[in-house]
Structure 1
């Protein structure tokens, strides 16, 4: 999927995004709990880069848990960014956020972050080298020993396990009252527009992007998550 298509897709759904996924809040909450736990070793005044922040759910949670943290919000969809800005303003944390509409390569250089999150972002990069480069871009913006928490759709699509899991996943979306046309759209996307790779391959991509071998920390249906730290530079 091309960048312009991704932006248009999320622009289209921004206004109803949070309402549409409200019935899946338990999975979001579990993921946020693990993010906060994995990143809790960061300093009290940490600055965290949130890549593809969407409407900012993890930012709202982390800001409540860690009142001294600041956030750089990176989101390519202007409509999603506006929704995130409104939510952070409503929760009184906008002063702790720097907003940047765009991609990693357009983020001003020079600032180094203590940690970064990337939730359901790299899966849209189909080319393996480009996907590795995505994580390398994050790595280059972290302080030594900086943390990364990453989540993506992940499975071995050539197996019976995947077909069974996909069936349950789609039934879960239907039970959560995600509109049928949205479920049908997502099913088509999984087949051609999303890089759904086996977990071990995603882990290798993250490692090759400049990180220590990532530790799997979560699976909820098709969503897998990992955490890791920046690999030391070679001598």
Structure 2
């Protein structure tokens, strides 16, 4: 059966939250660049809008998207949502260390838990979709975000796409990335086995675009790519 968002959050326990900052920067070559460019893409789309309110879905872990956006736009405010308490705690610590808690409302839970009348100027959904099993769960979260965006508002979606087993060369390169960072052959094998379990990424860039269209977003512009990972910006159309 397809997993629920709550079940997907269960794998992000305290152990995983504690290692997330290091692991994510190895697993995604260009982690910080992706978040920096996401901030640039939103700023370029919103233009001189002051005091923008940005919804950050799946904010747990590093809170890097908020840190990057806040550095570029000092008057933006953020609403951070994540269903994993350990991951949200890790993000809160990063926000506190960067003096950003005063600009961020932190919510433990799901997008659906936010008031239906919430109205945001932009949103990010980074590293989330491939952890949701099945297209129905992916559509649900995209539609929940869309419902809380102003007309024409931009959304950043970033995460793995392609069925992992369909891209053996990318899998091997991903293993070499870990070896490059000092992992042993046994560790690389274990990590390759882990990536094939417990995740269900969209199987192509076209599949990402289709999910966005179905949720009420227009044509997506891809602005970052790294092995399995892609990042896109699309705007609300209805």
In 1, Cα distance between equivalents of 2:82 and 2:176: 29
Q: CA deviation at 1:185?
A: 5.6
- Using the TM superposition, give the Cα deviation of residue 157 of structure 1 relative to its aligned residue in structure 2, in angstroms: 4.6
Q: Which runs of 5+ in 1 are unaligned?
A: none
**SS at 2:225 equivalent:** strand
Q: 1:53 is matched with which residue?
A: 59
Cα deviation for residue 129 of structure 1 reads 2.3
Moved more, 7-16 or 60-69: 7-16
Q: 1:213 aligns with which of 208, 216, 219?
A: 219
| Structural mapping, 1:132-211, within 5 Å | 132-157=139-164, 159=166, 162-177=167-182, 186-196=191-201, 197-211=203-217
Q: Cα RMSD over matched residues?
A: 2.3
Does residue 88 (structure 1) correspond to residue 95 (structure 2)? The answer is yes
Does 2:16 correspond to 1:9?
no
Q: Shift of residue 95 of structure 1?
A: 0.5
1:191 Cα offset (Å): 3.0
Aligned residues: 230
Q: Is 2:116 the counterpart of 1:114?
A: no
- How far residue 187 of structure 1 moved from its aligned partner, in angstroms, is 3.1
Q: Are residue 38 (structure 1) and residue 41 (structure 2) matched?
A: yes
Unaligned runs of 5+ in 2: none
- The Cα of 1:85 is off from its aligned counterpart by 1.0
Offset of residue 57 of structure 1: 0.8
What's the offset of the Cα at 1:8?
Answer: 3.2
TM-score w.r.t. the length of structure 2 is 0.87
d(CA) in 1 for partners of 2:187 and 2:125?
A: 23
SS of corresponding position for 1:39: helix
Would the alpha carbon gap of residues 5 and 39 (structure 1) be closer, same or farther in structure 2, given more than 3 Å must change?
Answer: same
Tell me, in whole angstroms, the C-alpha distance in 1 between the residues paired with 2:51 and 2:192.
Answer: 41
What are the equivalent positions in structure 2 for 1:67-86 lying under 5 Å apart?
Answer: 67-86=74-93
SS at 1:18's partner residue?
helix
| 1:25 to partner: Cα distance | 8.0
